[in-house]
Amino acid sequence: MRKAISYLLTLCIVLSLGVTSFAESEPAALKPGDIVEFGFYEQDNDKANGPEPIEWIVLDVQEEQALLLSKYGLDCKPYNEEVASITWDECTLRDWLNNTFLSSSFTEVQKETIMVSEIDNCEQYFPKKSQDQLFLLSAAEIEDYSRIVMNDLKIEPTSYALKQGARVSGTNFCWWLREIKNNGYNFDTDEYYVLAQVCQGRDPDNEVSVDGKDVLVRPAMWVDLNKLSDALNDMKSETTKDNLSDNSSSFEEHNSQYIITTVTDPNEIDFLHDMASGINKRLLTAPASGTVEGFSKLVAYE
């Protein structure tokens, strides 16, 4: 009789930089490389305890405004819901960030702090600009801020994002950039394709079909330093999280995407592969140490 083995997966996040809460630092003192907390989103995969504060890397400070980039991949969403000839200004991810994510992650007071920015669609022949509070970085912006973000290009997903099926190659996860990288028609498969640019590991020059549902979302935004004081007080309020919309309303509909195992017996591995396929899950085989970068096996039972 085969053993039924179940493994629980958690994300091990090791912070390389200290976290500076807005409540602990004067807005004017922010500098590139700081980590700040602002807004809330489900991250630990435990809906019962509510959403967690979002950590942001300060990329730039210009006079009375600062550019922030989320430290972790917060969710998995397609760049566009269907394969179509689109650019940033038309894609569904832009709509999701500036509507669903904005309303579910920030209170009205916090929204006032997020500036409306003019964002170009990175299109050479048909350039357009959109007015966005939240956006994705472009490859050019990554190059501009490479001194700050280089160590953070190899992104870690939150536990919640892992549940949504974050794409992993080895230990490298993908996150969307703003550019459309390539498009055309594949005569072999009789399919039209549109590829958006992604950063995988520390390589920002990769591409994935725009309808890919397993690429991480890493929002960016400019915040008004003059309005941060009100946002500081709002973040400290005990009722702030209660006033947010529920970003994980479909959380319970998602089953675990991963099973981690350290077994080396071929029969047991085959059995787990079959089990994983049968319940539409993926199987990651960890090294004998029981861990793979970013993951930790918590418990196994017979």
Contact status, residue 159 vs residue 12, Cβ threshold 8 Å = no
CA separation for the pair 249, 65 (Å, rounded): 33
Q: What is the pLDDT of residue 158?
A: 95
| More confident position, 289 or 225 | 225
160 pLDDT higher than 80: yes
Token pair in block for residue 179: 């550019």
85 pLDDT higher than 80: yes
pLDDT category, 146, cuts 50, 70, 90?
confident
Give the mean model confidence (pLDDT) for residues 18-29.
53
pLDDT category, 189, cuts 50, 70, 90?
low
Q: What is the pLDDT of residue 6?
A: 35
Q: What is the pLDDT of residue 294?
A: 34
Q: What is the pLDDT of residue 26?
A: 60
The β-bridge partners of 296 are: 10, 291
Q: What is the pLDDT of residue 181?
A: 82
pLDDT category, 126, cuts 50, 70, 90?
confident
* Beta strand extents in the chain (DSSP E only): 6-11, 19-21, 35-41, 52-62, 65-70, 75-76, 117-120, 129-132, 168-169, 172-186, 191-200, 203-209, 216-217, 220-224, 258-261, 282-285, 291-292, 295-301
245 pLDDT higher than 90: no
Min mean pLDDT across 48-57, 165-174, 269-278 is at 269-278
Give the mean model confidence (pLDDT) for residues 95-123.
94
Closest CA to 292 of 7, 3, 75, 35: 7
pTM of the model: 0.71
CA separation for the pair 231, 26 (Å, rounded): 12
Average pLDDT, the chain: 73
Contact status, residue 69 vs residue 59, Cβ threshold 8 Å = yes
> What is the percent of the chain with per-residue pLDDT over 70, rounded to a whole number?
64
Min mean pLDDT across 14-28, 45-59, 250-264 is at 250-264
185 pLDDT higher than 80: no
Number of H helices, E strands in the chain: 8, 18
Give the mean model confidence (pLDDT) for residues 211-228.
93
CA separation for the pair 153, 146 (Å, rounded): 9
54 pLDDT higher than 80: yes
Give the mean model confidence (pLDDT) for residues 23-31.
64
pLDDT category, 144, cuts 50, 70, 90?
confident
| More confident position, 208 or 288 | 208
First and final CA of the chain: distance in angstroms? 12
| More confident position, 249 or 183 | 183
pLDDT category, 155, cuts 50, 70, 90?
confident
Q: What is the pLDDT of residue 45?
A: 94
Give the mean model confidence (pLDDT) for residues 254-259.
34
Q: What is the pLDDT of residue 37?
A: 92
Q: Provide the phi-psi class of 251: left if phi over 0, else alpha when psi is between -120 and 50, else beta.
A: alpha
Q: What is the pLDDT of residue 98?
A: 98
Min mean pLDDT across 67-71, 144-148, 165-169, 195-199 is at 144-148
